Amino acid sequence: MAEKREKGAEQSGGSRARTAQLRRQKRRKKLIKVWTYRAIAVLVVVLLGVGVFFGVRGVIRLFGGGKQNSPYGLPDYVKEEYLTVNPYSRPGQKLPGGVKGIVIHYVANPGTTAENNRNYFENLKDNGDTYASSNFIVGLEGEVLACVPVDEVAYASNNRNDDTLSIECCHPDETGQFNDKTYASVVKLTAYLCNRYHLDPQSDVIRHYDVTGKACPLYYVEHEDAWQSFKDDVKKAMDQLDADETDSETTKSEDNGTVSASTAAE
């Protein structure tokens, strides 16, 4: 009997232990479940945050506000390959009077690339053949090189070097007419610069010819109508840039819930 009782006590003791163990297991399972839900929730919040961050960044980049890598704030399509500061092509002198105009040139060397012309300017530092350079060169593929920073003097436009930026344009043949890709890039770049410096393309965009009477850019000196069309195209491109900016500003304003008529009307 005593033996039996002992056995019974042992049995009930064993079942108590098992119940406690079961309860512990249950509690552990419940804890695991709770923490799993919490981890999933945190993960979802983190993923949403990352998504919103990259989404917003993408939108900003889309509207051109995200580029931080140009020290001069130039658009993405401009490749900055500045010349070494030297007396022959990059004197390192700041534009004393700011930017009052844009001067268009042609390289007068058919078939040469933007890079060829850039290297020619760069090599002047060693051979000292002449004084020459340009703030920008637009190539046959429409590529845009920046050779002298927009706040420095380049040697391209004689007595207008001190208050203008110069754009040298590549061309496929002796006529000096720009091909479609070059033309499109020169229009785009000139429009950008006119907007940036508040210039009027009809009066502030000029040819080298208008400074010195030199037949540069040849085709657009010989074809006055083509030159007029170029300036008209620059004006159209400026209006387009304004429209794009207004669109992005309106979008930004809408995001903030403060659409203003003045912003939209600009």
The four Cα atoms 185, 188, 192, 197 give a dihedral, to 10 degrees, of 80
CB of 87 to Zn ion, least distance (A): 20
CB of 105 to Zn ion, least distance (A): 3
CB 168 within 8 A of CB 134: yes
Residue 160 binds to Zn ion (criterion: CB under 5 A): no
Among 118, 208, 231, 235, binds Zn ion (CB under 5 A): 208
Q: Please tell me what DSSP assigns to residue 168.
A: E
Q: Which lies closer to Zn ion via its Cβ, residue 218 or residue 241?
A: 218
CB of 51 to Zn ion, least distance (A): 51
Q: Is 145 exposed, middle or buried (0-12, 13-18, 19+ CB in 10 A)?
A: buried
Among 74, 99, 105, 143, binds Zn ion (CB under 5 A): 105
CB of 110 to Zn ion, least distance (A): 15
Q: Which lies closer to Zn ion via its Cβ, residue 152 or residue 168?
A: 168
Q: Give CA 29 to chain center in angstroms.
A: 54
Sign of CA dihedral 89, 91, 97, 99: positive
Phi and psi dihedrals of 138, rounded to 5? Answer: -110, 125
Residue 171 binds to Zn ion (criterion: CB under 5 A): no
Residue 216 binds to Zn ion (criterion: CB under 5 A): yes
Q: How many Å apart are CA 181 and CA 117, to the nearest integer?
A: 17
Q: Which lies closer to Zn ion via its Cβ, residue 74 or residue 154?
A: 154
CB of 158 to Zn ion, least distance (A): 9
**Residues at the interface with Zn ion (CB under 5 A):** 105, 208, 216
